[in-house]
Amino acid sequence: MRGRYYISVLDLGKEETLEVLEIARHYKIERKAGKRKSDILKGKIWAILFEKPSLRTRVTFEVAVRELGGETFYLSPNDVGLGKREPVKDVARNLERWIDGVFARVFDHKVFQEFRDYAPNLSVINALSDLEHPCQALADFQTMIEITGDLGFHLAFIGDGNNVANSLMLMSALLGSDFTIACPEGYEPPKEIVEKALEMAKRTGSQINIVRDPKSAVSRADFIYTDVWASMGQETEAEIRRKAFQGYQVNEELLKFAPEHAKVMHCLPAHRGEEITDEVIESERSLVFVQAENRLHTIKALLSFLSQ
């Protein structure tokens, strides 16, 4: 496993990603049948290195490693102080000498490049950065495939072109699913993400669109996705963003413009009453807790795949 990286959706190709999702499907079946333990990671030690708080990401990773026979330990921001207490490159080179992998949640995506440059024999998984959230995208695609049985669906993202939207756009383009994001002007995904997605879409047949009107975005959607308007680290922009995203709430009124079968998704935590209403998140259309459950299965699958 040493030296394996998953810091971007694009660190795995299409067939590799589909293999991970198939492994996740099997893990979910086995867990429901009461089979949880294996020894795939026996003798392996992973650090959980988080600069941001977490519920789903931290718990599912710890459970995943333990169910695969490995061990974990947690490093808080106060323990390490990436780039503050000591340089990222020093942290990376120390950890490389002691453990097998790092599951990191960071503010700046560039941290991962430093790990790649200075600790090439250390496995690193992106648990969230300002640019991408690839593990969330894996869980989301497992969730959507469970509903449709294939990849021929249309995912509409309503809101900010943030890390989650970036990874969902890239994975849609990679696997050949259609993706539309409705966002205000100035809140689109980064240009480099869009360009990568459009280039892949030419090969896979995916349709990638950026629109302003949420109603048009959901008009042919199989899945309607939203996330908080101000992510962690953007708290000072919260009021500005709240004004900018008026009209982008996923609510019952918006769902009237979507097909009756369309399901609603959110990566959580949700600001109920802002980007999504309590009514919708608690409705029969909501998949949010299925997504959360599938975080465990896809992380187990990713770890198993990377250990091959």
Note if 39 is an active site residue. no
Is 262 in a helix, a strand, or coil? Answer: coil
Note if 135 is an active site residue. no
Note if 227 is an active site residue. yes
227, 285, 291, 297: the catalytic one is 227
Note if 136 is an active site residue. yes
Alpha-carbon span 2 to 125, nearest angstrom: 12
Q: Which residues pair with 5 in a beta bridge?
A: 124
Q: Which amino acid is at 215?
A: K
217 contact partners, CB below 8 Å, separation of at least 6: 156, 157, 158, 180, 181, 182, 209, 211
56, 136, 222, 266: the catalytic one is 136
4, 241, 266, 295: the catalytic one is 295
Contact (Cβ atoms closer than 8 angstroms) between residue 210 and residue 158: no
CB atoms within 10 A of CB 45: 14
Note if 267 is an active site residue. yes
Contact (Cβ atoms closer than 8 angstroms) between residue 173 and residue 198: yes
Q: How far is CA 259 from the centre of its chain?
A: 25
Q: Count CA within 13 A, CB hemisphere, residue 75.
A: 18
CB atoms within 10 A of CB 26: 13
Respond yes or no on whether the N-terminal peptide bond of residue 214 is cis (omega within 30° of 0). Answer: no
105, 266, 285, 297: the catalytic one is 105
Note if 116 is an active site residue. no
100, 135, 267, 297: the catalytic one is 267
Q: Which two tokens stand for residue 45?
A: 């030690």
Just list the catalytic residues: 105, 133, 136, 227, 267, 295
